[in-house]
Chain A
Amino acid sequence: KAGVTQTPRYLIKTRGQQVTLSCSPISGHRSVSWYQQTPGQGLQFLFEYFSETQRNKGNFPGRFSGRQFSNSRSEMNVSTLELGDSALYLCASSPGQLLTNTEAFFGQGTRLTVV
């Protein structure tokens, strides 16, 4: 069974640009959550999508957005990039929503560097 796939693995962008990251969940999983991981702040929840709807959102500015498609694949977009957005962005998929305490399976992440 294929795991969670995130693309691209590495990305370098310039301040002010925008970026789109992609996540393909495990087949049959309908929930996709996104996290930002930095050495200083650790793992922080961005948002969760379930059945194409955002179900939960963390404390991030509106520059961070996402969407989920009918095949459960998800994309995350960050507009007007700032240096502080440099981080490892992780996607996790689950069979059910976060509120059901289901085990989350993480991808390897996308390492975003903003210069």
Chain B
Amino acid sequence: EDQVTQSPEALRLQEGESSSLNCSYTVSGLRGLFWYRQDPGKGPEFLFTLYSAGEEKEKERLKATLTKKESFLHITAPKPEDSATYLCAVQANSNYQLIWGAGTKLIIKP
């Protein structure tokens, strides 16, 4: 069964303290892995799509990487405005619908 697991469930960091969020997946043929950010009361906002192991993408303080079994979202020198829930989703070759992880709630304290 296709599955996505995100860890940790919640992460509290001081402003400027770098860290990583994890997204482990089990899927029968990965078509793509997606990272989204969701703020309270809003819909998810697209961040990255990764397609193959070894691929990396960056946007401001965020960098996403992909291996054959997991993806990491690295956040460097975070600011309070980076506080949000970060969601990971995978799309399998066999079924185009997105399978979502439960998310990691990131809190950055000033």
- A residues touching B (Cβ–Cβ < 8 Å)? 4, 42-45, 48, 55-56, 58, 90, 92, 97-99, 101, 103-109
Is B54 an interface residue when CB atoms closer than 8 A count as contact?
A: no
Which residue in chain A gives the minimum CB-CB distance to B31? Answer: A101
- B residues touching A (Cβ–Cβ < 8 Å)? 31-32, 36, 41-46, 49, 51, 87, 89, 91, 95-103
The smallest C-beta distance from A66 to any residue of chain B, in angstroms, reads: 14
The smallest C-beta distance from B43 to any residue of chain A, in angstroms, reads: 3
Known interface pairs A98-B91, A101-B49. Does A106 touch B44 (Cβ–Cβ under 8 Å)?
yes
Asked whether, in the complex, the Cβ of A108 is within 8 Å of the Cβ of B91, the reply is: no
Known interface pairs A56-B96, A58-B97. Does A107 touch B43 (Cβ–Cβ under 8 Å)?
yes
Return chain A residues, CB-CB under 8 Å to B91. 98, 101
Return chain B residues, CB-CB under 8 Å to A98. 91, 96-98
Return chain B residues, CB-CB under 8 Å to A4. 43
Return chain A residues, CB-CB under 8 Å to B99. 45
Asked whether, in the complex, the Cβ of B100 is within 8 Å of the Cβ of A42, the reply is: yes
Q: List 6 A-B contacts (CB under 8 A).
A: A42-B101, A43-B44, A45-B98, A106-B44, A108-B41, A108-B43
